A and B are shown apart, each in its own frame.
Chain A
Amino acid sequence: MATVQVSEAEKVYILHGIRDDLRVDGRGCEDYRHMEIETDVVSNTDGSAKVTLGHTAVLVGIKAEIGKPRPMVPKEGYLEFFVDCSANATPEFEGRGGEELGTELSNTLYKVFNNKKSVDLRSLCISAGEHCWVLYVDVLLLQCDGNLYDAISIAIKAALFNTKIPRVHISSDDEGGKEIELSDDPYDCMRLNVENVPCIVTLCKVGHRYVVDATLQEKACSVASLIISVTHKGTVTCMRKVGGGSLDPESVYEMTEAGKRVGKTLHAPLMKLLQEEESLGTKRQKVGFLG
């Protein structure tokens, strides 16, 4: 993880600021940085989204492929995650430097998203026990400026919203063999219901208080952070503590409450934005990576 060197004086300055609900860049403790979202940015995926949060930039692409359902849940499809920490994001990722972080991120994402409460996995089933859609979610970190989890989760939600899975029909021939038939119309595709897909809110404990969407400097001042995934209703679906320090139960409770609050307010504008963009259809001017 990218780190910055912060001097003692700076730390004190940041700590004092946060105590007074005034962060270095002028935000309050529960405010996010400027965020930009664009979907359908990679044409050869089935769904994609690019999210920038401050200087953090992530790209998520989703490919749908036909696979075999897991034996325990024959009527459900599943998701697979892979996080690529490109050395573009920070020189520390060079070589195998980003591997550990990548695995950690993808494990967390798997826990958060791959369950039928979050994504309607049943709709991914084609024929029980035989065929289902597997969504390969590939996350590419383009730039790291803190708060990766939140950015990634928003990008995944946007990409899932954008995902168009070709509609298939199962035809059976005389001997009972089943064959998958593709629709001839490229516009004939299935969309996912992303209503219940959670977003992750990371809260960093700095001093006695906590902040949302910490920058790298703030992160350097924090001892521990709490990752909370929250649905649009404010339900917490997953929680994890990262970082070396400890959290007392009281602040865990406080931070959870704050996470719920922030998460709930995050979902509504996100969905509105995505729907607005979708309604533009082909008239939308794509920004892409150079914009």
Chain B
Amino acid sequence: MLKSKTFVKKTRSGGVMKIVREHYLRDDIWCGSEVCTECKQESTVLQRDACLESSLCSYPHYLIPDTNVVLHQIDVLEDPVIRNVIILQTVLQEVRHRSAPIYKRLKDIIHEKEKHFYTFTNEHHRETFIEREPGESANDRNDRAIRVASKWYSQHLKTSKSDAEGLKVVLLTNDSGNKQKAEESGLLVYKCEEYIKSLIANPELVDRLALSNDDKNEITASKVLFPEHLPLSRIQAGIKSGSFLQGTFRASRDNYLEATVFVQGEGEDSKEVLLQGLQNLNRAVHQDVVAVQLLPRNEWVAPSSVVLQDEGAAKDDEAEEEEEEKALRISAAEAARKPTGKVVGIIKRSWRPFCGMLNLSQIKESTRHLFTPADRRIPRIRIETRQAATLAGQRIMVAIDGWPKNSRYPNGHFVRSLGSAGEKDTEQEVLLLEHDVPHQAFSQAVLSFLPKMPWGITPEDMVRREDLRQLTVCSVDPPGCTDIDDALHCRELDNGNLEVGVHIADVSHFIRPGNALDKEAANRGTTVYLCGKRIDMVPELLSSNLCSLRSNVERLAFSCIWEINHQAEILKTRFTKSVINSKASLTYAEAQMRIDDTSKNDDITKSLRGLNKLAKILKRRRIEKGALTLSSLEVRFHIDSETHDPIDLQTKELMETNSMVEEFMLLANISVAQKIYDEFPDCAMLRKHPAPPPSNYDILLKAAKSKEVNIHTDSAKALADSLDVAKVDGFPYFNTLLRILATRCMMQAVYFCSGMDSDFHHYGLASPIYTHFTSPIRRYADIIVHRLLAVAIGADSTYPDLMDKHKQSALSNNLNYRHKMSQYAQRASVAFHTQLFFKSRGILNEEGFVLFVRKNAIIVLIPKFGLEGTVFFDSKDKAGPNLVFDEEGPTLTIEQHTFHIFDKVKVTISLDDSNIQHQKIRMALIDPVIPGVSVAVPEIEPQAKKPKLDR
């Protein structure tokens, strides 16, 4: 039967078109139910015994949700308990129209066999198709279509002569008008909340319900806490006229009452606007795009250096709040004041499900609880749950539903549990999720592009490759490394010069541009190394086998070969694709032993000695040119092989061989950077490290001055030289501390496309040009560089995206983001393992140095563990000691004692697990002894002694 659908559409040019689509109705669309005997279906989706223990519906039943239920309660529908659901085509189409991500999730559920979700194409069914009537809105028509289809189902199931009597369909809708009409036509209909609450056997589902806005409870909470957000039209008008600024909201990590909005301007015009106080933050959440209005100049404030954390139980009384806000207002020096503003509206929310933990409400029976996200920049979220007792102590994910203006906290709902807090797997999952690290297993589509095993080098592979299998190539890596992407060789030439080769795994041979494997790698951007776990950028077959330059197997490589004289001057450089056969995979320590062991004289050792000698010269020359040697403490865990718990922790030791490998990698990177830039000045992917603005050095200069040491920061060379001579008698660690501080002043190095930028300088390495070439297994940038170089030497063909500088630029932005997030994830992983370590070690007393001085705290570095911690001096519940903060020093005077940067202190370190929300390392002062502030050297229960010090 043919019907036609008619609608009128506006064209882009402003015209109006009448569009008529043919719409065929059929009588062979089956109901999908097991009990049905009429429909001639081959397989069924809906089960015969569709039993869900519900106090409303004691009979077996199928559910039919309407569009709004799907849109708002997708989290509930995703629960494995909810099965035997009929998704009408009307609903599916509307969902698709309204929200692409929810549509995707719905499709995923439908494809899941165990969920028994059936899509009924009611719009093409002869008996359930309806035409829109005059005066009926599109929504009303769809509601009617849903009702008609539900009606059809209930009658169809009744007429089908089957033993499973009493099988019914239940329509779920939150629209009261729709519900009433459905009841009138004799349908079984419930509100979604009503129904979910009736599921006696599964009370946990209630938590997953999204709170609807018209919830009656909300109306009673009368007090309006926040100013209304302006409508989008007014925001847009305001931005256009310049009265508002648009920017990304960035909450402060240390102070929940403070945030900045980064306003992107043209060129140098970008600026930051400071926001202070809950009213001015006005319900913006980290990463939202907001519109801000600047306050009058006399209301501008300076960023406070107080560390403030949103505390304790849900406090709905604002008295405390105001006090906290007052703490912020301590008038700052006029000069330090920054443009300050307030949020007037939200342009785009960037809410995602957040990981975190539940704070139990103090009222035992309460179902409303606060959820504390793991990311401190995210405000706490109020959720409703009846399974609080089970969820306490678990890491859970919560999604924000909304933030009404009369609520102190946003409202959200429970999404899923990740596992018990403190467990390694759970915590790892949390930190991967929080840092947006793609860590799912590789999809079939990606794996399909892997080479077929057994893999071998074919004659075709050899056509454009040099055979370097006879060379004595070896690799030097950290112990346990399975993704070996670089190998080296060095041999004496007949003319007395040396030939040095750096051989890099030829990953671009396996990953061809544009396929699923390439796209996945480009998205992941980098391999992420966590303690005891590696999240690969490329599938393991490549990373640990075919691309890994293991010893005594033939591997494809991309080689960079120099002819160098004994003064380490480069005479010739060439690049070639090659085949190598590594003779040995050494660790740094093994290589070092070979070099030092004078009795050894084999080819590998000789080659290593040659490399080492050249590396020393290269390094010296580089430092002379002004390369910085900075310091940051890297921690290495000794992991128990059985339990995978850390048993010891030590800072990483650097050996000569480390710097030997590093030196040649730098050399290769620079040579390649020059080559690809010469060939492709517009689209070379390079890496730059901008010089930091002078103000970044303030803290370093102040700190050095306090020890009467002068640091020059005019150039990298001046900085390097003054760091070299900066020494204080009787304080051998001073220099390292200075270097740690200097590291903190630096800018982040970034990838960029040479056609989009003019400043190529790498500040830290003092090189005019630089790129990444040497680790294609774990960095995507290197793959791009490989491809560029391969095109430059005629070893491979090019493709359009490679030569498109805008696409390159977009790619490098993603790589920079992934790189940054992977570093954060790495740090978070180290921090977590440090906690595990201290958990097993109990309380330790260690010496440390003051690294920073804050208004109410000092930050202490423990060199032995490379650990940083905060010692707080004020606490909520008791009158704090007398604190005087001097910004010029900066110094902090407590009672009689004054803390400076670099002061040596003794602290006691323990794991604070009294509060499992956030387990953390707690430090308390032992020495110097300040009455009322420092603690006695603890031997007894530490928790009792320092309540709430830094929860």
B137 at the interface (CB under 8 A from A): yes
Q: Which A210-239 residues sit within 8 Å CB-CB of chain B?
A: none
Stretch of A116-124, A181-189, A258-266 that contacts chain B:
A181-189
Query: Does A166 touch B at the CB level, under 8 Å?
Result: yes
B6 contacts A182, CB within 8 Å?
A: no
Contacts of A1 in B (CB 8 A): none
Min Cβ gap A48→B in Å is 12
Residue A66 at the B interface, CB < 8 A? yes
Chain B residues with CB under 8 Å of A171's CB are none
Contact indicator B138/A180 (Cβ below 8 Å): no
Are B16 and A184 within 8 A (Cβ)? Answer: no
User: Which residues of chain A come closer than 8 Å to B7, judged between CB atoms?
Assistant: 186
- For the complex, what is the distance from the CA of A166 to the CA of B18, rounded to whole Å? 9
Q: Which residues of A in the span 177-206 have a Cβ within 8 Å of any Cβ on B?
A: 180, 182-187
Query: In chain B, what residue has the closest Cβ to A281?
Result: B134
Tell yes or no: B389 within 8 A of A by CB. Answer: no
Closest chain-A Cβ to B105's Cβ sits at a distance in Å of 28
Query: B15 at the A/B interface (Cβ < 8 Å)?
Result: yes
State which size class the interface on B falls in: 20 to 34
Tell me whether B137 and A185 are in contact (CB under 8 A): yes
- Chain A residues within 8 Å of chain B by Cβ, number: 19
Instruction: State in angstroms the CA–CA spacing of A46 and B17 once bound together.
Output: 10
Which residues in window 53-79 of A have CB below 8 A to B? 63-66
Contacts known (A43-B4, A185-B135); A180 close to B237, Cβ less than 8 A:
no
User: Does A174 interact with chain B (Cβ within 8 Å)?
Assistant: yes
Q: CB-defined interface of A139-182 with B at 8 Å, one 1/0 digit per residue?
A: 00000000000000000000000000010100000100000101
CA distance A282 to B18 in the complex (A): 19
Given contacts A66-B14, A66-B15, A180-B10, contact A186 B20 (CB under 8 A): no
CB distance from B203 to the nearest CB of A (A): 42
Residue A279 at the chain B interface, CB threshold 8 Å? no
Contact B6 A43 (CB under 8 A): yes
Q: Which residue of B lies closest to A131 (CB)?
A: B14
Q: Which residues 10-46 of A sit at the B interface, judged by CB distance below 8 A?
A: 43-46
Task: Determine how close the nearest CB of chain A comes to the CB of B416; give it in whole angstroms.
Answer: 38
Q: Is B879 an interface residue (CB 8 A)?
A: no
Please tell me which one of the listed residues A63, A64, A65, A187 contacts residue B134 in the complex, with CB atoms under 8 A apart: A187
- Interface residue? B132 (CB, 8 A): yes
Q: Is B8 an interface residue (CB 8 A)?
A: yes
Q: Report whether A182 and B8 are in contact in the complex, using a CB–CB cutoff of 8 Å.
A: yes
A64 to B16, CA, bound (A): 8
Q: In the complex, are the beta carbons of B132 and A180 less than 8 A apart?
A: no
Interface membership of chain B positions 1-32, coded 1 if the CB is closer than 8 angstroms to chain A and 0 otherwise: 00010111110001110111000000000000
Chain A residues with CB under 8 A of B131: 282
A64, A182, A183, A186: the one within 8 Å of B132 (CB)? A186
Taken together as a complex, chains A and B put the C-alpha atoms of A43 and B4 apart, in Å, by 8
Residues from chain A with a CB closer than 8 A to the CB of B9 are 182
Which B residues are CB-close (under 8 A) to A45? 18
Q: Which residues of A contact B136 (CB under 8 A)?
A: 185
Count of chain A to chain B residue pairs whose CB atoms are closer than 8 Å in the complex: 44
Chain A 264-291 near chain B by CB (<8 Å), digits 1 or 0: 0000000000000000001000000000
State in angstroms the CA–CA spacing of A185 and B132 once bound together: 9
Of residues 120 through 144 on chain B, the ones whose CB sits less than 8 Å from some CB of chain A are 131-138
Are B8 and A65 interface neighbours, CB within 8 A?
A: no
Minimum distance in angstroms from B242 CB to a CB of chain A:
15
In the complex, which residue of chain B has the Cβ closest to the Cβ of A126? B16
Q: For residue A186, which residues in chain B have a CB less than 8 angstroms away from its CB?
A: 6-8, 132
Out of A43, A182, A282, name the residue touching B16 (CB < 8 Å).
A182
| Residues from chain A with Cβ under 8 Å of B20 in the complex | 43-44
Residues of A within 8 A of B16 (CB): 64-66, 166, 168, 180, 182
Give the residue name and chain of the B residue nearest to A63 (CB). Answer: B18
- CB contacts (< 8 Å) of B135 on chain A: these are 185, 187
A255 CB to closest chain B CB (Å) equals 42
The smallest C-beta distance from B132 to any residue of chain A, in angstroms, reads: 7
**Per-residue A-contact encoding for B292-311, CB less than 8 Å = 1, 0 else:** 00000000000000000000
Q: Is there contact, CB below 8 Å, between B15 and A184? A: no
Residues in B whose Cβ lies below 8 Å from that of A168: 16
Q: Are B8 and A180 in touch, CB under 8 angstroms?
A: no
CB distance from B523 to the nearest CB of A (A): 39
With both chains docked as a complex, state the minimum distance between the C-beta of A23 and any C-beta of chain B, in angstroms: 43
Contacts of A166 in B (CB 8 A): 8, 16, 18
Least Cβ–Cβ distance between B713 and chain A, in angstroms: 50
The 8 Å CB contact of B18, one of A44, A174, A180, A185, is A44
Q: How far is the CB of B8 from chain A (nearest CB, A)?
A: 4
Check A180/B134 contact, CB under 8 A, given A43-B20, A174-B237, A186-B7: no
Q: How far is the CA of A45 from the CA of B20 in the complex (A)?
A: 9
Please name the residue on chain A nearest to B17 by beta carbon.
A65
A64 vs B128: C-alpha distance when bound (angstroms) = 33
CA–CA, A168 to B16, complex, Å? 9
* Nearest CB in chain A: distance from B142 CB, A: 13
- CB A138 to nearest CB in B, in angstroms, measures 14
A65 CA to B16 CA, complexed, in Å: 6
Query: CB distance B134 to A184 under 8 Å?
Result: no
Q: List 7 A-B contacts (CB under 8 A).
A: A44-B19, A65-B16, A180-B14, A185-B137, A187-B132, A187-B134, A282-B131
Query: Lowest 3 A-B CB distances belong to which pairs?
Result: A187-B134, A44-B20, A166-B8
Known: A180-B14, A185-B136, A187-B134. 16 other contacts (CB 8 A): A43-B20, A44-B20, A65-B16, A66-B14, A66-B16, A166-B8, A166-B18, A180-B10, A180-B16, A182-B8, A182-B9, A182-B10, A186-B8, A186-B132, A187-B132, A187-B133
Interface on A for B, CB 8 Å cutoff? 43-46, 63-66, 166, 168, 174, 180, 182-187, 282
